Each structure stands twice: as structure tokens, then as C-alpha cells.
Amino acid sequence: MFEFISGLSEAAAMPTEKKLKIAIVGEPKTGKSWFASTAPGPVYIADFDDRAESLRGKKDVFVKTYVDRNLDSPNAIQNLEVDLAAFKYAKSKGEPIPSSYVLDSATYMRKMCENQLMYSEKSLSRVIRVGSKTIKIASGWDVINANRSYMEYFIGEFSQLGHLIMVFHEQAEKDNIKSTKDTKAYTGRYTIQPQYLSSILSIFNEIWRIKILYDGSYSVEVKPSNEFLASTTLKLDANEKPSIIDMLKKHESRSMAAVPALTK
């Protein structure tokens, strides 16, 4: 049907096994990186937070830190580009590559992208002098738009290689309509940090929020609540224990159980 449209797929016939794009959102120290590392392995983690040691002891997990040590000559994003090309080349040759890729976190990856953009295009920054130091900061909407596009590019490229997981820090959602120059108003919900990147969430089919409960246990919200607009395409409960592998197994089990009912 509709053979005259090239590249068309019928949704009902799409395979249940697919590459996932998962956004993991949460406050600092709520186990976001640990949770992300429970994805199907081998897992490759691009660490932009300079906190690789937080994953010590995790099997089948490989971590590389991408941080600009010298802001006069940033190289974090250039190194990520080189490694992305290496993964793509290895895949084209049929060589083993990771099953899952984690960009951790978007908050600091954004900063590395900004550093590279300001270095490549001087007009995207302005200089502030503080005592004997000179500090460059991003300036204008151009750098925001360019930064967002840069991150969308990496999300698209890595998601072609395997499961893609991106970690986001959360913050209270600012109400841009009710806020004034002098007073900030909030919606009562949570979003990602920085808020201007929130449009990126539309790229992800899975938007999960991890949090610590009052009893000290961890819980993952995968369906929308009054506080956060989580979402999932998987057959999961509203709240899950933080194990991506186990969550996928539950989805597969429920999907298989539903097959006979659909074919009656």
C-alpha cells in the first residue's frame, strides 16, 4: 500500500526491538549516571561532568572524560567528534562497538559545545575582565541556537550506532509569561537545566525522571505526573526500579503476553 512513497513503514509492522533514545532527568546525586550505566552493554559513557570515578566497579561499562582543561584551546568536543568517527568506521567494518552510548550530562556537554563555538566563532562571545583575569562568556541567541543544533547533531549521530541515553540535571520550571525582569515566577513543575534546552526532549521517545524517595530508595517516573512530564513508549508501570535492563525485560514480557490477545 502506498508503494509510490519511498522509505514508508507501517507502524504495526515495525519490529519491537529498536534503538532507544532515553532522556534521564534528576537532581544532583540521585544516581542518574549509575542508572544510565544499567543499559544493555557494552556501555560507552562520554563523561562531561569529570566524575568518571562515580562509576567505579561497573562491569561492561567504559568511560572517557571530555573536559576542556584549557579554555584558550578547547578540545573536548573535537575529541568527541574523533571518537564518534571511529565508532562509525568500526561499525562499517563489522567490528564490535558498544550497544549503548551515554552522554553525561547535557548540562556540562552544553558548556563544552559553547567553548568550542566561542573558540571557532569569536562573535559568539564577549570578554569580561575580573581583576587580572579575562573571562569569555557566551553572548546572544546565536550561541544558544548553535549550541542546541550541535547537541541535536550528536544525539542523532550516536543514536544511529545503538541505544542513546542522555543525562540531564533538573531545575524548577520558570514561567516565562508570569516572570518579570525583577521577579521570577515558576510553574510548579520541573524541567531540564538549562531550560532553553527543553525543546531537545522532544527528540526522545523515553523521558524518565529518577528521584530518591523518603525511605532512601530510588524510583524512576516514566509517565507524566503533576511535577514532571515523563513519557514512555514501553509497557511499564508509572514508577519503576532504576535498572534499564530490567525495565526492558518487563516491556518485552508484557509485549509477548499481549500477542495472543491481538491475534484472536
So what's the pLDDT on residue 244?
A: 96
Mean pLDDT of 88-98: 96
pTM of the model: 0.87
Pick the more confident residue, 22 or 57. Answer: 22
So what's the pLDDT on residue 264?
A: 44
Q: Which domains does the chain have, with CATH numbers?
A: 19-263 (3.40.50)
What does the alpha-carbon distance between residue 27 and residue 123 come to, in Å, rounded to a whole number?
34
| Contact present, 101 and 91 (Cβ < 8 Å) | no
Q: What is the pLDDT of residues 42-77, one digit of tens each?
A: 999 999 999 888 888 889 999 999 999 988 899 999
Pick the more confident residue, 134 or 84. Answer: 84
So what's the pLDDT on residue 7?
A: 64
What does the alpha-carbon distance between residue 83 and residue 210 come to, in Å, rounded to a whole number?
29
pLDDT above 60 (res 12) = no
Mean pLDDT of 242-248: 96
